Amino acid sequence: MPTIRMILEKSCVGKFWFTIGGEIEYEQSLEEAAMSKLPEETGHKVDEVTSELVLNGPGTVLYDVFSGIGPFSIPAAVCGTSVVLANDLNPDCYYWLNENIRINRKARNISTYNMDAINFIQEILGSSLEKVWLDFIRGESFRRVLVLMNLPASAIEFLPCFIGICSVGMKKTYIEASECARNLNLSMRDLIPVVYCYCFAQKCADDSDAIREITDAIHEKFGGRGIDILAIRRIRDVSPSKLMFCCEIHLTYSVLFDDTVI
């Protein structure tokens, strides 16, 4: 796995495709896909909107919940994203993620985890948010906190894991960071994660039906707690009857602390 490569396809000129190796490795992987321990990693389109976001460099904290071998995390870390936390449950993905980091020496400020997404969100993400807020109070300039959930198809089922990830003890830090933000004419909202969750829906005559269905499903996952759905973007057709969407969800204080009282 010498490096992450960009391949321009005839049918897809200008789009980014990351593979686990060069062209030869890619062809081998395709032939061996059925046998592979990394069947999902043989090559797929990376959503350009999200790519631009994660490649936006300093001031961004990125949590890549289902990182695979790192097609988002590693370019982000190479491009100078302030902090990257990449997680995957599959030990083979985790191995190659670390190998990719070793090979791409410019990938700095990246930590890797081999955990179930539930534990990564509840144990790692929750407590590391406190560090983000503390660093902000100490003068580090953060622009945004992103959580990437780019597949599996069940990614949307993990949304309830965000409820209550911040402990009561973190409220003091939250309040201090809010005051700090106010003094700087900034919004604490920017220090609360935006989740980019990919999901699928049946193709309908009109996309708005699919979007309504996804919106209802997201609200249901948060049990009616306040969230802000910023966008639900159609990514691509995955089959004659199925569409892939990316949902951008701004979490809120009431979700993070599972409380409405500050």
List of residues contacting ligand SAM (CB under 6 A): 40, 66-68, 71, 88-90, 93, 116-117, 150-152
Cβ nearer to ligand SAM, comparing 174 with 198:
198
Q: How far is CA 141 from CA 32, 138, 181, 194, 249, in A?
A: 46, 9, 10, 17, 22
Cβ nearer to ligand SAM, comparing 82 with 90:
90
Minimum distance from residue 198 beta carbon to ligand SAM (Å) = 8
CA–CA distance, 114 with 98 (Å, rounded to integer): 11
Q: How far is CA 192 from CA 65, 96, 115, 142, 249, in A?
A: 16, 30, 23, 11, 11
Cβ nearer to ligand SAM, comparing 172 with 234:
234
Cβ nearer to ligand SAM, comparing 100 with 178:
100
Minimum distance from residue 75 beta carbon to ligand SAM (Å) = 11
Minimum distance from residue 159 beta carbon to ligand SAM (Å) = 13
Minimum distance from residue 121 beta carbon to ligand SAM (Å) = 9
CB < 8 Å & 24+ apart, contacts of 123-130: 124/63, 124/85, 124/87, 125/63, 125/65, 125/85, 125/165, 125/193, 126/165, 126/166, 126/167, 126/170, 126/256, 127/167, 128/63, 128/85, 129/165, 129/166, 129/170, 129/193, 129/256, 130/166, 130/170, 130/173
Minimum distance from residue 141 beta carbon to ligand SAM (Å) = 28
Cβ nearer to ligand SAM, comparing 19 with 173:
19
Cβ nearer to ligand SAM, comparing 123 with 209:
123
- Measured between its terminal Cα atoms, the distance across the chain in Å is 49
Q: How far is CA 89 from CA 49, 86, 98, 185, in A?
A: 25, 11, 13, 40
Q: With CA atoms as reference, report the closest residue to 100 among 146, 41, 60.
A: 41
Minimum distance from residue 87 beta carbon to ligand SAM (Å) = 6
Minimum distance from residue 177 beta carbon to ligand SAM (Å) = 29
Cβ nearer to ligand SAM, comparing 68 with 133:
68
